[in-house]
Amino acid sequence: MPISVREATPNDAEPIASIHVRAWQAAYRGQLDAGYLDALTPGDRLPNTRSMLEDAPEDLRVWVAEDEGAIVGFAVTGASQDADAERSTAELYAIYLEPERVGTGVGRALSDHAVADLRERGFREITLWVLETNERARRFYEVAGWKHDGTTATEIVDVEVRPTVRYRATL
């Protein structure tokens, strides 16, 4: 059965929180402090995930990828929150997969679905932020046609400050 993508519901909060933690622990190993990653738990993420699904702003969308009824990834999109963004600019806030699903097409299915939805809603550009050191994710976006636009920032993760870079694509 092929991967299907649908809009998330509040009932999806637990699997999304669980995927979020496992994805961080796998993707950011060697980029973020191991103690911080090892201490992450789905229970810690659950309140924010529930809130995102129950009280989200109107323009925020959360998508889940399913395989035979099991959620195997999620993506979050909405209007760009960047100070220099035009109203027609959207943002891919997050895309995370079960670690064993990386490289299987699930991420591409989620990304393509989210981008198509943003295009249908009238957005003309999309941005995202990624850790500068996250080479695998950067390759994923570059293969899909995203370009680093030269903008950099820093993000505080736990107590560490990490450089991030912004990517941009035309919708």
Give the tens place of pLDDT for each residue, 88-126: 999 999 999 999 999 999 999 999 999 999 999 999 999
Mean pLDDT, residues 73-92 taken together:
97
Q: What residues does each domain of the chain span?
A: 4-124
Q: How far apart are CA 97 and CA 110, in angstroms?
A: 10
What are the distances in angstroms from CA 56 to CA 10, 59, 84, 93? 11, 8, 23, 13
Strand partners, 59: none
What are the distances in angstroms from CA 170 to CA 66, 77, 115? 27, 15, 10
Mean pLDDT, residues 24-38 taken together:
95
At residue 1 the predicted structure's pLDDT band, cuts being 50, 70 and 90, is low
Could you tell me the fold of the domain covering 4-124? Aminopeptidase (3.40.630)
At residue 2 the predicted structure's pLDDT band, cuts being 50, 70 and 90, is confident
Query: Percentage of the chain surpassing pLDDT 70?
Result: 99
Mean pLDDT of the chain: 96
Residue 111 has a pLDDT of: 96
CA dihedral over 91, 52, 161, 85, signed as positive or negative: positive
For 125-170, how does the pLDDT look when each residue is reduced to its tens digit (9 = 90+)? Answer: 999 999 999 999 999 999 999 999 999 999 998 778 999 999 999 9
Residue 27 above 90 pLDDT?
yes
Residue 159 has a pLDDT of: 72
Distance of CA 77 to the CA centre of its chain: 8
Residue 61 has a pLDDT of: 97
| Whether pTM exceeds 0.75 | yes
